[in-house]
Amino acid sequence: MKMFLRKLFIFTFLLLFITVGCVPERVPESPLPKPVITLDNPSLTYTSKVGKSITITPTYQYAEGATFKWEMEGKVLSTSASLTFNSAVAGDYYVTLTVTNRSGSTSIEIKITVAEKLVPYIYMESLPGGYNLLKDEEFEFAPIVENEQGCSYIWSVDGAQAATTKNFKYKPATIGKHTVTLKVTNEDGAAQLSLSVNVYQAADIPFSWSFERDVYNYSTGRSIRIPIREIKNGFDAEYIWILDGVEVQRGAQTYYICSETTEGAHTLVVKMQNSYRTATKKITINVCPKEGSYIRSGGTALWNKVYEYLPAPGQFINEGYTATTMEQACAYAQKRLEEKGYLSLGGWGGYIVVGFDHSILNDGGYNLAITGNAFKNSSEPGIVWVMQDENGNGLPDDTWYELKGSDYEAETKDFHIRYTKPKGAGKAVVWSASDGTTGTIDYLGAYHKQDYYYPAWVSTTTYTLYGPLLKSKTSELAPNSYINGDFGWGYADNFSLIDRLSDDSNSNAGAADNHFKLSDAVTWDGKPANLKYIDFVKVQTAVNSKAGWIGELSTEVLGFKDYNMLK
């Protein structure tokens, strides 16, 4: 299935909903939309067992007098409104349903997986090194279970049964290393998952933190924000910030604003001190020459290089290409964009970084164009970041500035999601977010059949993406009919009435530009950055949402342009 079809499906549903109006009486051939097919399974994937029948009964709109045809490999299986399917052989079967009325036909493909047995499968985050829990502090394990109908659950701790509910509220009472096991059973078999759990007193539980980078670069006259990420077990921590041997900040604040003006390299030491331990982190801060020292001129209007391509998991990731390193992934992205193809950034947080062979100047108007494929009520917004080559080394390793969009004030700042690689092919990807929510990037095998939606060039079993989160505007108009609502302005792959600079509806989900002003760049505190030019651009998926069988919301990009050279 081509990438743009997902958006075309949405448009088809919307068109059918909005074209129903008042019809004059006694008009024999009144306008009639094409049929609408609604299935009870949003993923369009059904599961059955060898020798057992499954009946699929869609609901229909505008199907008065319509004909029905269910086909598989050119053979007609049924001409009824429903299909009863039975196979003695296990495997995946792809059935196309076509409904035809006097205005035309609507077709949809359905995947039926016939299995020897429908054994349960457990999705749950398995952390490297195990879960670190405090003694006597309650923690809830909340698994996601596939084929859960008719299942029973048994939780055990170190072999002793502890609960028979799907979720397990565990309050460890004994210090040490433990094994928590979940066994899920139905008539076809059982699945079992064991998790390593380390239980500590507060004085002994490991402390952890992370930082965005080890080296920061910024131009003299500016300031940067250096945050601490994912602090775990800090308790009553005090954070001490020492710049070039001088203490500059102390207290509970978990970030430091550096405004050093002396050009050159500086050493920042961050020290965490609590009642139990001390931890330190050393960071290098390079204060670069003032803005404009490395500005470049000339060049062509189009981007010229992909520097990073790290999507979140998604239905288009690993599809039709092989990449096992970041270098190979960037080469694929480069080729894809050069061919003007659709490049998916996957679910929330996935991103791409590109550069130009010259600096794009800020003239106060629109300076940058990013091509997506949004149309009305099919927007998958990507937040846009820009960077100057402040240290003059030709690499995007300096300071990112967010381009403020219409929903900037409503963003959740400093958000992150951790994605966990599935333990087997054809399985969903589990995620957990900084706000405590969890979920999955669903496996949509009816259309995207690659084994894994987790990027093959990510060598670790988990990875974390960071950035701002926009509130979802995804909604379900009717069963299996979804819209991804539009945002005002300032986002890639978004149907904006403002920055598209066009009144074209783009109903065929073709390539369409959003335009951006470099004057909308803001600093870490939301104030105008007043950038005179930029050299690099990053786009990342901004919404964490999914729409049934359409799958996860994922920003798609097709190209980047210096709009100054085109307007």
For residues 95 and 138, state if they share a domain. Answer: no
Write down the pLDDT at residue 20: 36
Q: Is the pLDDT of residue 2 over 50?
A: no
Residue 50, domain extent:
32-115
Residue 14 within any structural domain of the chain? no
Last residue of a domain, one of 115, 145, 166: 115
Mean pLDDT of 481-486: 85
- Give me the helices (H) in 364-456, please: none
Share of the chain above pLDDT 70, in %: 94
For residues 319 and 460, state if they share a domain. Answer: yes
Write down the pLDDT at residue 8: 46
Give backbone dihedrals phi and psi of 524, rounded to 5 degrees, phi first.
-55, -25
What's the maximum distance between 2 C-alpha atoms anywhere in the chain? 89
Residue 479 within any structural domain of the chain? no
Summarised one tens digit per residue, pLDDT across range 509-546 is 789 999 999 999 999 999 999 999 999 999 999 999 99
Higher pLDDT, 31 or 18: 31
Strand partners, 258: 224
Residue 44 pLDDT class (50, 70, 90 cuts): confident
Q: Is the pLDDT of residue 156 over 50?
A: yes
Write down the pLDDT at residue 393: 97
For residues 455 and 355, state if they share a domain. Answer: yes
Residue 13 within any structural domain of the chain? no
For residues 386 and 457, state if they share a domain. Answer: yes
Please identify which residue in the block is written with the tokens 């050119």.
Answer: 74
For residues 258 and 170, state if they share a domain. Answer: yes
For residues 335 and 436, state if they share a domain. Answer: yes
- Domains in the chain: how many in total? 3
Residue 30 pLDDT class (50, 70, 90 cuts): low
Residue 515 within any structural domain of the chain? no
Q: Is the pLDDT of residue 17 over 70?
A: no
For residues 96 and 125, state if they share a domain. Answer: no
For residues 386 and 461, state if they share a domain. Answer: yes
Residue 514 within any structural domain of the chain? no
Q: Is the pLDDT of residue 411 over 50?
A: yes
Last residue of a domain, one of 89, 115, 141: 115
Residue 252 within any structural domain of the chain? yes
How far is 57 from 39, CA to CA, in rounded Å? 7
Summarised one tens digit per residue, pLDDT across range 537-552 is 999 999 999 987 788 9
Q: Number of H helices and number of E strands within the chain?
A: 2, 43
Summarised one tens digit per residue, pLDDT across range 239-258 is 999 999 999 999 999 999 99
How far is 43 from 109, CA to CA, in rounded Å? 11
pLDDT, averaged across the chain? 92
Q: Are 71 and 78 in contact (CB under 8 A)?
A: no
Last residue of a domain, one of 100, 115, 130: 115
For residues 316 and 281, state if they share a domain. Answer: no
For the record, the structure tokens of 177 come out as 């290393």
Q: Are 128 and 121 in contact (CB under 8 A)?
A: no
pTM of the model: 0.84
How far is 331 from 339, CA to CA, in rounded Å? 12
Summarised one tens digit per residue, pLDDT across range 101-149 is 999 999 998 989 898 989 999 999 888 889 999 999 999 999 999 889 8
User: The CATH number of the domain where 73 resides is what?
Assistant: 2.60.40.10
For residues 91 and 165, state if they share a domain. Answer: no
Residue 6 gets the label, from left (phi > 0), alpha (psi -120 to 50) or beta, of alpha
Residue 557 within any structural domain of the chain? yes
For residues 284 and 388, state if they share a domain. Answer: no
Residue 329 within any structural domain of the chain? yes
Write down the pLDDT at residue 40: 77
Write down the pLDDT at residue 29: 53
Terminal-to-terminal C-alpha distance of the chain: 35
CB neighbourhood size of 308 (10 A) = 15
How far is 328 from 322, CA to CA, in rounded Å? 8
Residue 24 pLDDT class (50, 70, 90 cuts): very low
For residues 88 and 190, state if they share a domain. Answer: no
